């Protein structure tokens, strides 16, 4: 197994992020790697495609502030310095690829819901990251109940 030196972990700030972060922290400790956290705030204009004639700037600003606060809490809990926390705006898969390249990441860790069939064809962030990454990608299965 390669020795990962820099791990980029992209999280969505949901309750499922804990499982992804747990795996990422374990991998970083195992490899003595530097761990970076990333959250990407999608612009509301991307989600709605400009179909709704409204100014979303105030809502977008609130989303950004909430994400900053949440990301800082995750970083504090894992003792990750602020310089290794990244909050970007745009399409998540594209931003993950861009930051991964600029940091020289050896591994990207993302959560995956394991969609199948039509949901997979319609795309997911994990799938987009996997197919455009220049390094290894670990998709951590989230959102499924473990069998006893």
49 within a domain of the structure (yes/no): yes
User: What pLDDT, on the 0 to 100 scale, is given for residue 50?
Assistant: 54
Average pLDDT over residues 9-24: 91
Paired tokens of 53: 């004639």
Say which residues have a Cβ less than 8 Å from residue 48's Cβ, sequence separation at least 6.
56
The domain tally of the chain equals 1
How much is the pTM? 0.83
146 within a domain of the structure (yes/no): no
Alpha helices of the chain — where are they, by DSSP H?
17-31, 44-48, 57-77, 92-103, 118-121, 125-130
120 within a domain of the structure (yes/no): yes
56 within a domain of the structure (yes/no): yes
Domain around 15: 6-141
User: What pLDDT, on the 0 to 100 scale, is given for residue 66?
Assistant: 94
Residue 106 sits in a domain whose CATH number is 3.40.50.620
DSSP string, 116-139: -THHHHT--HHHHHHTT-SSEEEE
> Bridge partners of 9?
37, 109
User: What pLDDT, on the 0 to 100 scale, is given for residue 116?
Assistant: 47
């Amino acid at each position: 197994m390669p020795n990962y030196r820099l791990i980029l972990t992209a999280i969505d700030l949901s309750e499922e992020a804990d499982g992804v972060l747990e795996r990422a922290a374990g991998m970083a400790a195992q490899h003595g790697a530097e761990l970076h956290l990333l959250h990407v705030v999608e612009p509301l204009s991307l989600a709605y495609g400009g179909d709704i004639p409204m100014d979303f700037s105030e809502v977008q600003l609130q989303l950004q502030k909430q994400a900053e606060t949440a990301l800082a809490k995750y970083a504090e809990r894992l003792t990750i310095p602020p310089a290794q926390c990244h909050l970007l705006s745009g399409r998540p898969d594209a931003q993950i690829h861009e930051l991964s390249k600029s940091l020289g990441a050896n591994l990207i860790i993302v959560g995956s819901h394991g969609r199948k069939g039509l949901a997979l064809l319609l795309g997911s962030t994990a799938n987009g990251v996997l197919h455009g990454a220049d390094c290894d990608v670990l998709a951590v299965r989230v959102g499924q109940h473990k069998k006893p």
